[in-house]
Copies of this chain bind each other. A is one copy, B any other.
Amino acid sequence: MAAVDLTTHPGHLARRLQQAHYLLWNTMVSEEITSPQFAVLNALVAEPGLDQRTVGERVGLDRSTIAEVISRLGRRGLLDKVRDPQDGRRFLLRLTDEGVRTHRKLTVRTARMNQVFLAPLSADEQTLFFDLIRRVSDAAEGLRNPVEPLAVRS
């Protein structure tokens, strides 16, 4: 009696959207490299030598998850990890040649996949789609890290 219509629940829709994407990625882009892994490669192409934590921040992965993802990419020989001589807590990350090649190859396929994925929407709708999702995500992210209460320095 009291059942609810999940198609008006953003969380449920978000999950379905991600599943749909996962499937398409698997068939059109790669079965080896996942979408989050590609995001890490991409971040390191843009800014080589980043440390692990910062990469996680760039692509939206927490400290634990980014460690796993990086470990997998390292095992596949797509990136190198070296202690920062300036700060012994950090590891600096840099793509190998193989990592750069992989990124380049997947960039092309990803673009094709995105076209297919978004094909049901007109160009205007696609823009709107990005905008709406981004606004909702950013707002929720903001709730997470409440703006520092402007601490009053005694």
A118 to chain B: closest residue by CB: B10
B133 touches A14 (CB 8 A): yes
Closest B residue, CB atoms, query A19: B60
The CB with the most chain B CB atoms within 10 A, among A21, A59, A107, A110, is that of A21
Contact check, A35 vs B12: say whether CB atoms are below 8 A apart: yes
* Among A68-76, A77-85, A86-94, A139-147, the stretch in contact with B: A139-147
A25 neighbours in B (Cβ, 8 Å): 11
Q: Which residues from 103 to 131 on chain A have a C-beta closer than 8 Å to any C-beta of chain B?
A: 103-104, 107, 110, 114, 116-121, 125, 128-130
- The answer to whether A16 has its CB under 8 Å from any CB of chain B is yes
Chain B residues, Cβ within 8 Å of A152: none
A75 to B90, CA, bound (A): 42
A136 to B121, CA, bound (A): 8
Contact between A12 and B24, CB atoms less than 8 A apart: no
Contact with B along A5-28 (1 / 0, CB 8 A): 011111111111111111111000
Which residues from chain B contact A150 at a C-beta distance below 8 Å? none
